[in-house]
Structure 1
């Protein structure tokens, strides 16, 4: 069976394997910490959308999860802390120093634990990068340990994942919005994206011809470059470098949780060691013979991925292309894509409370969120790759999508619920209960350079209506 190892082994990708394993593990670490900090308040026993009710209602339709038989916040936190511990060991590289089955077991543990969380996460976990993290964790599990050469077939299916990520995103843009086709999408996108970062205003104010050049470059990177990931080296490596640079540009210009970060990590799987050697690095790992059982597992997993790729492949070329869709309960070989349509105007929902009687003349105070725009004088913050789930859902709310969580949020604010208040940047009532809350709509835009110099504001806003009239705790609970 020595010939089998020779076919499967890819001895020139040791650096790529280290980046893949440690990078994906680092993102799992962030994802589990995010769940520890946010899941109980949003989805816990007394959350906005309580997981126990969802599990009871959905049953087997929820998908595989350790919580099907019993959910408690304490159990959720135990699962997440185990995930944090395993992910931290992988970031350090301890399991990778053992036999091939050890990192395999560690990554499959992360995958199973996080799958259990995602499948009961409802709308708060309905983002494409949740499936992306699950798929990436499953594939990276079969990269082996430092004892054996990286399996070429696994590197190949990781390239297939990057291809679906990039090409799927490119196709959904071309099909979804004229502004991508006429190269004007970035006239709006940096200003209207879900959660701008400190540099977003700078990018928004760039000259329009440069915006058009950016969109053209994006189309080239997403619609042409991915095909070269399957070319011989060094072409595949340079294709990966172009993707990495483009994704780094997106990291600098916005907060998209770990979407861009994990894409960068995955793309490194196509960069050969020879690229690093040209920089003067010496890479000479000593491998043992690949065990037959491990080679057989790699072949079987590759066959499974090929079989599950049928629907995602057809979806890439379908007239009604699905974006961020899973075709199986295990979130393997998914369809990806982002911003098939670009929002042209930014609206924000601003929640206010008052300790007065709610009548005209009452003093209303704004609740401030950590990431989403609120106070016009406040500079947008950098949070990615950490995911602020409530802030993201507030962006969708302004677009008209509720999901059943907003009224419970108002109830929690009227109750001064400490878990929910911890998710906010500023509580104007210092933990005390307001008598009334309301929600108003504002139109936001970035200030021009002249406006910023004159008044120091990052945002200019004007009122655009009322989403929820002043309401008391008793009134909102009757709804």
Structure 2
């Protein structure tokens, strides 16, 4: 079985298994904290209603059998425990089938969540994590060498992710072609982080160099992931460095962290030791691969080759799809991001009052955790944690008015406790306001002079009313 095993990739296997498990731990904790308020029995888009609509459509999810918020929490906590065990390397210390079963369990549980998550789980990195978790199931345990075909499948995944994103940009907005995209992106991205203001104020010639470097990293470097060593390790290092740049400049949930982990599939033990010679890797016996493990991996490899055809065709299409799944299991996917760049930043601000609407009414703002609100508040770092409601508020300001938003306003009018826990600040201290409305503001970053003088990170001006004042049942009552 020596042909079957990838000798000299123990570092890659350990990083992939433990790192992907760590991301799963984050996403299951994220679901436990946010899913009931967003999609639970009394959520903004209740999952039971969605399940009733998709019954019989063949969408795989455990929740066809039963949905309740309690069952959802049980699923998320089981997933979190299994992910923590994989992070610690416990299943990997057993036979080859034990980490396989653990990762397939993670994949199946999270697939069940994603497939009923509707718009709140409609992000490309959900499919990326599902595909990565499925592949990690077939990396084996500590006493066998990692299968070479699975490591190549990880490289193919990184290739699709990076090259697909690069093509989307070139085929999309002209600002990527004329190298001016970063004149706008750091200011208009969905959720800026503490460094985004500083990145935005870098000199414009440097922004052009950044875009050019991005094109090189996404359109040229991915091909070298398939080259012999040490070229593949160098290509992976370029991917890792560019992803770290994105980690520093914005909040993109676990997309960049997971991409860094996946790129390690192309990093050999020899490359790591060339940089850190004190690190030693215990090489498993390549000749000791169980025949049953080889048969399973061989069958999976054939399935992966079959599933590769649809995303490969997508890469050469003029109307390339972005963040699309070609099967119900999220195992054949197309990726990409920011095919177009917005030039201005609008934000929807929700306000409430106990006064009669009019010129004298004192409106108070609800503050979200991550999206821009109070101009004096410095943006925060949240990634790899995913603030799903904040992200949907960004899409809302772009004109994507979803059915969830009127429900959100009604929840705030009722001072729904689960909903309020998704926010940073409730100006009414848990009590219902009498009226609520939604306004649109145009935001821009402050200049360095404005930041020094006024201590504001943002400057904003009103653009209009999105939702006129809506009256609730009245203030003073704390709901049970």
- TM-score category of the 2 structures, normalised to the smaller one: over 0.9
Q: SS state of the match for residue 63, structure 2?
A: coil
Report if aligned partners of 1:351, 1:438 keep a CA contact under 8 Å in 2: yes
Q: Does 2:16 align with 1:20?
A: yes
1:26-425 to 2 correspondence within 5 Å? 26-61=22-57, 63-278=59-274, 279-280=276-277, 281-287=279-285, 289-425=288-424
Deviations 1:64-106 (A, max 9, x none): 0000121100000000000000000000110011111000000
Aligned to 2:456: 457
- Note the C-alpha offset of 1:275: 1.3
CA deviation string 1:302-341 (max 9, x = no partner): 1101101111000001000000000100000200000000
Distance (whole Å) between structure 1 residues aligned to residue 373 and residue 55 of structure 2: 39
CA contact (8 A) 1:62 1:119 kept: no
* Cα separation, partners in 2 of 1:286 and 1:305, compared to 1, 3 Å: closer
Structure 2 CA distance for aligned equivalents of residues 57 and 109 of structure 1: 26
CA distance in 1, matches of 2:34, 2:336: 25
1:473 Cα deviation from its structure 2 partner: 2.8
Q: Name structure 1 gaps, 5 residues minimum.
A: none
Of 1, 7, 14 in structure 1, the residue corresponding to residue 3 of structure 2 is 7
Measured against aligned partners, the alpha-carbon deviations of 1:351-403 in whole angstroms (never above 9, x if no partner) come to 00001122331110000000000000000000000000000000000000022
Cα offset for 1:62? 6.6
Kept after mapping to 1: 8 A contact 2:8/2:283: no
Corresponding residue number in structure 1 for 2:465: 466
Could you tell me whether the CA contact under 8 Å between 2:375 and 2:460 is conserved in 1?
A: yes
Counterparts of 1:51 and 1:314, CA distance in 2: 34
Residue pair 1:370, 1:424 contacting (<8 A) in 2 also: yes
TM-score by length of 2: 0.97
1:4-58 Cα distance to aligned partner (Å, 9 max, x none): x211101100011000000000000000000000000000000000000000012
CA–CA distance in 1 between the matches of 2:163 and 2:359? 54
1:91-149 per-residue CA deviation (whole Å, 9 max, x = no partner) reads 01100111110000000000000000000000000000000000000001000000100
> 1:65·1:119 contact (CA, 8 Å) conserved in 2?
yes
Q: CA deviation at 1:285?
A: 2.6
How far the C-alpha of 1:286 sits from its partner, in A, is 3.8
Contact 1:442 1:463 in 2 (8 A): yes
* Counterpart Cα distance in 2 of 1:172 and 1:246: 17
Match of 1:67, SS state, is helix
For residues 62 and 201 of structure 1, do their structure 2 counterparts lie closer, same or farther at Cα, with a shift above 3 Å needed?
farther
- Is contact 1:237-1:270 (8 Å) kept? yes
Asked if 2 retains the 8 angstrom alpha-carbon contact of 1:161 and 1:333, the reply is no
Please report the RMSD computed on the Cα atoms of aligned residues, expressed in angstroms: 1.0
Question: TM-score normalized by structure 1?
Answer: 0.97
SS in 1 for 2:100: helix
Residues 300, 62 of structure 1: alpha-carbon distance in 2 compared, 3 angstrom cutoff? closer
The residue matched to 1:400 in structure 2 has which SS? coil
Partners in 2 of 1:403 and 1:303 — Cα distance?
40
- Measure the CA separation in 2 of the matches of 1:311 and 1:142: 22
In the alignment, which residue of structure 1 is the partner of 2:477?
none
Q: Give the secondary structure class of the aligned counterpart of 1:441.
A: strand
